[in-house]
Amino acid sequence: MKILVTGARGKVGRAVIDRLHAAGHTVRAASAAPAGLTVPAGVEVAELALDRPETFAAALDGVRQVFLYPEPAGIHELVAAAEAAGVEHVVLLSSSSVLGEDAANDPLARHSLLVEQALAASALTCTLLRPDAFASNALGWARFIGGSMPVRLAYPDAQTAPIHPEDIADIAVAALTGRGLTGKSLTLTGAESLSFREQLAVLADTLGREIPVEHITRAEAEQEMRRHLPAPMVTSLLDLWEAADRHGPAAVADTTETLLGRPARPFRQWARENAAAFTAGH
Ligand SMILES: NC(=O)c1ccc[n+]([C@@H]2O[C@H](COP(=O)([O-])OP(=O)(O)OC[C@H]3O[C@@H](n4cnc5c(N)ncnc54)[C@H](OP(=O)(O)O)[C@@H]3O)[C@@H](O)[C@H]2O)c1
Protein backbone atom coordinates (compact mmCIF):
# COMPACT_ATOMS: atom_id res chain seq x y z
CA MET A 1 0.00 0.00 0.00
CA LYS A 2 1.75 3.15 -1.21
CA ILE A 3 1.13 6.42 0.64
CA LEU A 4 1.70 9.76 -1.12
CA VAL A 5 2.64 12.65 1.17
CA THR A 6 2.36 16.15 -0.32
CA GLY A 7 4.22 19.13 1.10
CA ALA A 8 7.39 17.10 1.64
CA ARG A 9 9.24 20.26 2.74
CA GLY A 10 6.37 21.38 4.96
CA LYS A 11 6.72 20.98 8.71
CA VAL A 12 3.84 18.54 8.95
CA GLY A 13 4.49 16.77 5.64
CA ARG A 14 8.11 16.00 6.49
CA ALA A 15 7.19 14.66 9.92
CA VAL A 16 4.51 12.42 8.34
CA ILE A 17 7.07 11.03 5.86
CA ASP A 18 9.58 10.23 8.60
CA ARG A 19 6.99 8.49 10.79
CA LEU A 20 5.45 6.41 7.98
CA HIS A 21 8.87 5.34 6.74
CA ALA A 22 10.10 4.43 10.24
CA ALA A 23 6.96 2.29 10.71
CA GLY A 24 7.78 0.35 7.51
CA HIS A 25 5.19 1.85 5.13
CA THR A 26 5.91 2.48 1.45
CA VAL A 27 6.06 6.24 1.04
CA ARG A 28 6.26 8.58 -1.93
CA ALA A 29 7.25 12.11 -0.95
CA ALA A 30 5.71 14.73 -3.22
CA SER A 31 6.98 18.24 -3.55
CA ALA A 32 6.26 21.11 -5.91
CA ALA A 33 10.05 21.50 -6.22
CA PRO A 34 11.62 18.07 -5.68
CA ALA A 35 15.16 19.05 -6.76
CA GLY A 36 17.43 19.02 -3.72
CA LEU A 37 14.77 17.48 -1.47
CA THR A 38 16.35 15.10 1.05
CA VAL A 39 14.23 12.20 2.32
CA PRO A 40 15.09 9.03 4.26
CA ALA A 41 16.71 6.29 2.16
CA GLY A 42 13.99 4.13 0.58
CA VAL A 43 11.43 6.93 0.23
CA GLU A 44 10.52 7.71 -3.40
CA VAL A 45 10.36 11.34 -4.50
CA ALA A 46 7.83 12.71 -7.02
CA GLU A 47 7.05 16.13 -8.43
CA LEU A 48 3.52 17.21 -7.57
CA ALA A 49 2.54 20.87 -7.64
CA LEU A 50 -1.01 21.12 -6.32
CA ASP A 51 -1.80 23.96 -8.74
CA ARG A 52 -0.36 22.15 -11.83
CA PRO A 53 -2.66 19.24 -12.85
CA GLU A 54 -0.13 17.96 -15.40
CA THR A 55 1.96 16.70 -12.43
CA PHE A 56 -0.89 14.68 -10.84
CA ALA A 57 -1.13 11.36 -12.77
CA ALA A 58 2.52 10.26 -12.39
CA ALA A 59 2.65 11.24 -8.70
CA LEU A 60 -0.58 9.33 -7.94
CA ASP A 61 0.28 6.16 -9.89
CA GLY A 62 -0.06 3.12 -7.59
CA VAL A 63 -1.05 5.23 -4.57
CA ARG A 64 -3.85 4.19 -2.16
CA GLN A 65 -3.63 6.88 0.55
CA VAL A 66 -2.78 10.59 0.28
CA PHE A 67 -1.73 13.14 2.89
CA LEU A 68 -2.88 16.36 1.26
CA TYR A 69 -1.94 20.01 1.75
CA PRO A 70 -4.89 22.23 0.80
CA GLU A 71 -4.71 24.07 -2.52
CA PRO A 72 -8.04 24.99 -4.14
CA ALA A 73 -6.46 25.75 -7.55
CA GLY A 74 -6.50 22.33 -9.20
CA ILE A 75 -8.42 20.47 -6.48
CA HIS A 76 -11.14 19.20 -8.86
CA GLU A 77 -8.48 17.87 -11.23
CA LEU A 78 -6.64 16.33 -8.27
CA VAL A 79 -9.78 14.55 -7.07
CA ALA A 80 -10.44 13.20 -10.59
CA ALA A 81 -6.82 12.02 -10.94
CA ALA A 82 -6.90 10.38 -7.49
CA GLU A 83 -10.16 8.57 -8.29
CA ALA A 84 -8.74 7.41 -11.64
CA ALA A 85 -5.54 6.16 -9.95
CA GLY A 86 -7.51 4.09 -7.42
CA VAL A 87 -6.78 6.23 -4.37
CA GLU A 88 -9.04 5.17 -1.49
CA HIS A 89 -8.43 7.62 1.34
CA VAL A 90 -7.26 11.23 1.74
CA VAL A 91 -6.13 12.85 4.97
CA LEU A 92 -6.38 16.61 4.53
CA LEU A 93 -4.34 19.22 6.42
CA SER A 94 -7.26 21.64 6.70
CA SER A 95 -7.68 24.38 9.31
CA SER A 96 -9.90 25.21 12.29
CA SER A 97 -10.65 28.47 10.44
CA VAL A 98 -13.23 26.56 8.32
CA LEU A 99 -15.43 26.45 11.43
CA GLY A 100 -15.67 30.26 11.54
CA GLU A 101 -19.10 31.85 10.96
CA ASP A 102 -18.00 33.66 7.79
CA ALA A 103 -15.56 31.01 6.54
CA ALA A 104 -16.89 31.10 2.97
CA ASN A 105 -16.02 34.80 2.69
CA ASP A 106 -12.72 34.76 4.56
CA PRO A 107 -9.73 34.26 2.21
CA LEU A 108 -7.72 32.18 4.73
CA ALA A 109 -10.59 29.89 5.70
CA ARG A 110 -11.93 29.66 2.14
CA HIS A 111 -8.61 28.20 0.95
CA SER A 112 -9.17 25.06 3.07
CA LEU A 113 -12.97 25.08 2.85
CA LEU A 114 -13.01 24.76 -0.96
CA VAL A 115 -10.73 21.74 -0.72
CA GLU A 116 -12.89 20.15 2.00
CA GLN A 117 -15.98 20.68 -0.19
CA ALA A 118 -14.34 19.14 -3.28
CA LEU A 119 -13.32 16.08 -1.26
CA ALA A 120 -16.79 15.76 0.27
CA ALA A 121 -18.29 15.67 -3.23
CA SER A 122 -15.87 12.93 -4.36
CA ALA A 123 -15.91 9.14 -4.11
CA LEU A 124 -12.83 9.23 -1.86
CA THR A 125 -13.06 8.62 1.88
CA CYS A 126 -11.47 11.39 3.94
CA THR A 127 -10.20 12.44 7.33
CA LEU A 128 -10.21 16.21 7.83
CA LEU A 129 -7.55 17.53 10.23
CA ARG A 130 -8.49 21.03 11.41
CA PRO A 131 -5.62 22.44 13.44
CA ASP A 132 -5.53 25.77 15.28
CA ALA A 133 -2.42 27.96 14.82
CA PHE A 134 0.87 26.07 14.51
CA ALA A 135 3.54 26.52 17.21
CA SER A 136 5.95 26.90 14.29
CA ASN A 137 4.30 30.22 13.34
CA ALA A 138 6.67 31.62 16.01
CA LEU A 139 9.42 31.23 13.40
CA GLY A 140 8.00 34.43 11.89
CA TRP A 141 9.60 36.23 14.88
CA ALA A 142 12.99 34.54 14.42
CA ARG A 143 14.73 37.30 12.48
CA PHE A 144 13.69 39.94 15.02
CA ILE A 145 14.69 37.83 18.03
CA GLY A 146 17.92 36.68 16.34
CA GLY A 147 18.71 40.30 15.47
CA SER A 148 17.93 41.50 19.04
CA MET A 149 15.09 43.70 17.74
CA PRO A 150 11.72 44.08 19.46
CA VAL A 151 8.85 41.94 18.17
CA ARG A 152 6.23 44.41 16.91
CA LEU A 153 2.64 43.22 17.37
CA ALA A 154 -0.75 44.86 16.91
CA TYR A 155 -2.48 42.29 19.14
CA PRO A 156 0.14 40.98 21.62
CA ASP A 157 -2.56 39.62 23.93
CA ALA A 158 -4.41 37.61 21.24
CA GLN A 159 -4.58 34.01 22.36
CA THR A 160 -4.31 30.79 20.36
CA ALA A 161 -3.72 27.19 21.43
CA PRO A 162 -0.59 26.60 19.32
CA ILE A 163 -0.15 23.03 18.17
CA HIS A 164 3.19 21.32 17.67
CA PRO A 165 3.35 20.24 13.98
CA GLU A 166 4.49 16.78 15.13
CA ASP A 167 1.20 16.29 17.00
CA ILE A 168 -0.62 16.91 13.72
CA ALA A 169 1.76 14.44 12.03
CA ASP A 170 1.10 11.76 14.68
CA ILE A 171 -2.65 12.03 14.12
CA ALA A 172 -2.21 12.14 10.34
CA VAL A 173 -0.25 8.88 10.51
CA ALA A 174 -2.99 7.28 12.64
CA ALA A 175 -5.57 8.38 10.05
CA LEU A 176 -3.47 7.14 7.09
CA THR A 177 -2.62 3.74 8.53
CA GLY A 178 -5.81 2.71 10.36
CA ARG A 179 -9.52 2.84 9.62
CA GLY A 180 -10.68 4.34 12.92
CA LEU A 181 -10.50 7.96 11.78
CA THR A 182 -12.07 7.54 8.33
CA GLY A 183 -14.89 10.04 7.78
CA LYS A 184 -13.95 12.09 10.85
CA SER A 185 -13.36 15.86 11.06
CA LEU A 186 -10.90 16.52 13.88
CA THR A 187 -10.29 19.87 15.55
CA LEU A 188 -6.70 19.88 16.78
CA THR A 189 -5.05 22.28 19.23
CA GLY A 190 -2.02 22.44 21.44
CA ALA A 191 -2.05 21.76 25.15
CA GLU A 192 -2.81 25.31 26.36
CA SER A 193 -4.09 28.72 25.37
CA LEU A 194 -1.25 31.25 25.15
CA SER A 195 -1.16 34.88 24.05
CA PHE A 196 1.57 35.96 21.65
CA ARG A 197 3.14 37.79 24.60
CA GLU A 198 3.12 34.54 26.61
CA GLN A 199 4.65 32.57 23.71
CA LEU A 200 7.41 35.17 23.54
CA ALA A 201 7.96 34.86 27.30
CA VAL A 202 8.40 31.09 26.88
CA LEU A 203 10.89 31.72 24.07
CA ALA A 204 12.73 34.31 26.21
CA ASP A 205 12.93 31.84 29.07
CA THR A 206 14.18 29.10 26.72
CA LEU A 207 16.80 31.35 25.14
CA GLY A 208 17.80 32.86 28.50
CA ARG A 209 17.38 36.47 27.43
CA GLU A 210 14.81 39.26 27.20
CA ILE A 211 12.60 39.57 24.13
CA PRO A 212 11.09 43.06 24.05
CA VAL A 213 7.53 43.32 22.68
CA GLU A 214 6.44 46.55 20.99
CA HIS A 215 2.71 47.17 20.80
CA ILE A 216 1.98 48.80 17.42
CA THR A 217 -1.24 49.99 15.78
CA ARG A 218 -3.24 47.86 13.35
CA ALA A 219 -2.36 50.31 10.57
CA GLU A 220 1.37 49.90 11.27
CA ALA A 221 1.06 46.09 11.31
CA GLU A 222 -0.93 46.22 8.07
CA GLN A 223 1.78 48.26 6.37
CA GLU A 224 4.53 45.86 7.47
CA MET A 225 2.63 42.66 6.62
CA ARG A 226 1.68 43.91 3.14
CA ARG A 227 5.35 43.74 2.19
CA HIS A 228 5.15 39.93 2.37
CA LEU A 229 1.47 38.99 2.02
CA PRO A 230 -1.46 39.88 -0.28
CA ALA A 231 -3.79 42.54 1.15
CA PRO A 232 -6.85 40.24 1.67
CA MET A 233 -4.67 37.77 3.61
CA VAL A 234 -3.32 40.59 5.81
CA THR A 235 -6.86 41.78 6.60
CA SER A 236 -7.96 38.23 7.35
CA LEU A 237 -5.03 37.58 9.74
CA LEU A 238 -5.45 40.90 11.55
CA ASP A 239 -9.21 40.27 11.91
CA LEU A 240 -8.44 36.82 13.33
CA TRP A 241 -5.98 38.22 15.90
CA GLU A 242 -8.29 41.11 16.77
CA ALA A 243 -11.09 38.60 17.50
CA ALA A 244 -8.69 36.38 19.47
CA ASP A 245 -7.64 39.42 21.50
CA ARG A 246 -11.29 40.17 22.30
CA HIS A 247 -12.30 36.58 23.11
CA GLY A 248 -9.62 35.79 25.69
CA PRO A 249 -8.47 32.20 26.15
CA ALA A 250 -8.61 30.01 23.03
CA ALA A 251 -10.51 26.72 23.19
CA VAL A 252 -8.29 23.73 23.91
CA ALA A 253 -9.38 20.45 22.29
CA ASP A 254 -8.63 17.09 23.89
CA THR A 255 -8.33 15.35 20.49
CA THR A 256 -4.63 14.49 20.83
CA GLU A 257 -5.11 12.99 24.28
CA THR A 258 -8.24 11.08 23.25
CA LEU A 259 -6.74 9.67 20.04
CA LEU A 260 -3.13 9.11 21.06
CA GLY A 261 -3.50 8.50 24.80
CA ARG A 262 -1.03 11.24 25.71
CA PRO A 263 -1.27 15.01 26.09
CA ALA A 264 -0.45 17.39 23.23
CA ARG A 265 3.17 18.57 23.20
CA PRO A 266 3.49 21.89 25.06
CA PHE A 267 4.67 25.08 23.32
CA ARG A 268 7.71 25.02 25.64
CA GLN A 269 8.81 21.75 24.04
CA TRP A 270 8.55 23.23 20.54
CA ALA A 271 10.54 26.27 21.74
CA ARG A 272 13.29 24.04 23.18
CA GLU A 273 13.53 21.93 20.03
CA ASN A 274 13.69 25.00 17.79
CA ALA A 275 15.78 27.38 19.92
CA ALA A 276 18.61 27.43 17.37
CA ALA A 277 16.32 29.15 14.83
CA PHE A 278 16.15 32.21 17.13
CA THR A 279 19.88 32.78 17.48
CA ALA A 280 21.82 35.46 15.59
CA GLY A 281 22.97 34.49 12.11
CA HIS A 282 20.70 31.44 11.86
N1 LIG B 1 0.37 27.82 10.04
C2 LIG B 1 -0.77 27.70 10.70
O3 LIG B 1 -0.99 28.28 11.77
C4 LIG B 1 -1.85 26.83 10.14
C5 LIG B 1 -3.03 26.60 10.90
C6 LIG B 1 -4.01 25.77 10.37
C7 LIG B 1 -3.83 25.20 9.11
N8 LIG B 1 -2.68 25.44 8.41
C9 LIG B 1 -2.52 24.84 7.08
O10 LIG B 1 -1.32 24.10 7.00
C11 LIG B 1 -0.71 24.30 5.73
C12 LIG B 1 0.79 24.54 5.84
O13 LIG B 1 1.13 25.28 6.92
P14 LIG B 1 2.40 26.26 6.95
O15 LIG B 1 2.03 27.47 6.21
O16 LIG B 1 2.84 26.39 8.35
O17 LIG B 1 3.52 25.63 6.07
P18 LIG B 1 4.42 24.35 6.11
O19 LIG B 1 3.92 23.26 7.00
O20 LIG B 1 5.82 24.78 6.25
O21 LIG B 1 4.15 23.84 4.62
C22 LIG B 1 4.43 24.56 3.47
C23 LIG B 1 4.63 23.51 2.35
O24 LIG B 1 3.44 23.36 1.61
C25 LIG B 1 3.77 22.82 0.35
N26 LIG B 1 3.08 23.52 -0.71
C27 LIG B 1 2.69 24.80 -0.74
N28 LIG B 1 2.13 25.10 -1.93
C29 LIG B 1 2.17 23.97 -2.67
C30 LIG B 1 1.77 23.61 -3.97
N31 LIG B 1 1.20 24.51 -4.81
N32 LIG B 1 1.98 22.35 -4.40
C33 LIG B 1 2.56 21.43 -3.60
N34 LIG B 1 2.96 21.71 -2.34
C35 LIG B 1 2.77 22.95 -1.89
C36 LIG B 1 5.27 23.07 0.15
O37 LIG B 1 5.94 21.83 0.19
P38 LIG B 1 7.04 21.51 -0.93
O39 LIG B 1 8.02 22.65 -0.90
O40 LIG B 1 7.65 20.23 -0.53
O41 LIG B 1 6.29 21.42 -2.21
C42 LIG B 1 5.66 23.88 1.37
O43 LIG B 1 6.95 23.56 1.84
C44 LIG B 1 -1.41 25.48 5.08
O45 LIG B 1 -2.06 25.00 3.95
C46 LIG B 1 -2.39 25.99 6.08
O47 LIG B 1 -3.64 26.26 5.53
C48 LIG B 1 -1.69 26.23 8.90
Whose Cα sits closest to atom 36 in ligand 1?
7
Structural domains in the chain (count) = 2
Residues 205, 233 within the same domain: yes
Closest ligand 1 atom, residue 8 Cα: 40
Q: Do the Cβ atoms of 166 and 256 come closer than 8 Å?
A: no
Judge whether 212 lies within some domain.
yes
Which of 99, 134, 160, 164 for mutating ligand 1's site (highest number of atoms within 8 Å of CB)?
134
Alpha helices in the chain (DSSP H): 11-22, 56-60, 75-85, 107-120, 142-146, 165-177, 196-207, 218-225, 231-247, 255-260, 267-273
Residues 147, 127 within the same domain: no
pLDDT tens for residues 18-73? 999 999 999 999 999 999 999 999 999 999 999 999 999 999 999 999 999 999 99
Residue type, 250: A
Enclosing domain of residue 195: 134-163+190-251+262-282
Residues 111, 158 within the same domain: no
Angle at 162 between CA 161 and CA 164, to 5 degrees: 135
**How many angstroms is it from 208 CA to the middle of ligand 1?**
31
pLDDT tens for residues 88-107? 999 999 999 999 989 999 99
Closest ligand 1 atom, residue 9 Cα: 40
**How many angstroms is it from 7 CA to the middle of ligand 1?**
6
Q: What is the pLDDT of residue 1?
A: 86
Residues 157, 228 within the same domain: yes
Residue (of 15, 61, 31) closest to 171 by Cα position: 15
Judge whether 257 lies within some domain.
no
Residues 274, 218 within the same domain: yes
Mean pLDDT, rounded, for 200-217: 97
Q: What is the pLDDT of residue 140?
A: 96
Q: For residue 83, give the CATH number of its domain.
A: 3.40.50.720
Residue 128 CB–ligand 1 contact under 6 Å: no
Q: What is the pLDDT of residue 273?
A: 98
Residue type, 242: E
Residues 142, 281 within the same domain: yes
Closest ligand 1 atom, residue 37 Cα: 40
CA atoms within 13 Å, Cβ hemisphere of 175: 29
Q: What is the pLDDT of residue 243?
A: 94
Mean pLDDT, rounded, for 134-160: 97
Q: What is the reported pTM?
A: 0.96
Residues 107, 150 within the same domain: no
Residues 36, 62 within the same domain: yes
Residue 229 CB–ligand 1 contact under 6 Å: no
Closest ligand 1 atom, residue 96 Cα: 6
Helix or strand holding residue 66 (H, E): strand 63-68
Residues 81, 144 within the same domain: no
Residues 17, 114 within the same domain: yes
Judge whether 179 lies within some domain.
no
Residue 34 CB–ligand 1 contact under 6 Å: no
Residues 112, 238 within the same domain: no
Q: What percent of the chain has pLDDT over 90?
A: 98
Residues 11, 121 within the same domain: yes
Q: Measure the CA–CA gap between 271 and 201, rounded to whole angstroms.
A: 11
Whether the per-residue pLDDT at 281 is higher than 80: the answer is no
pLDDT tens for residues 248-273? 999 999 999 999 999 999 999 999 99
Whether the per-residue pLDDT at 282 is higher than 70: the answer is no
Judge whether 230 lies within some domain.
yes
Closest ligand 1 atom, residue 13 Cα: 19
**How many angstroms is it from 239 CA to the middle of ligand 1?**
21
Judge whether 50 lies within some domain.
yes
Which of 4, 28, 69 for mutating ligand 1's site (highest number of atoms within 8 Å of CB)?
69
SS3 track for 28-65:
EEEECCCCCCCCCCCCEEEECCCCCHHHHHHHHCCEEE
Residue 199 CB–ligand 1 contact under 6 Å: no
Measured from the Cβ of residue 244, the count of other Cβ atoms closer than 10 Å reads 20
φ, ψ dihedrals at 196, nearest 5°: -60, -40
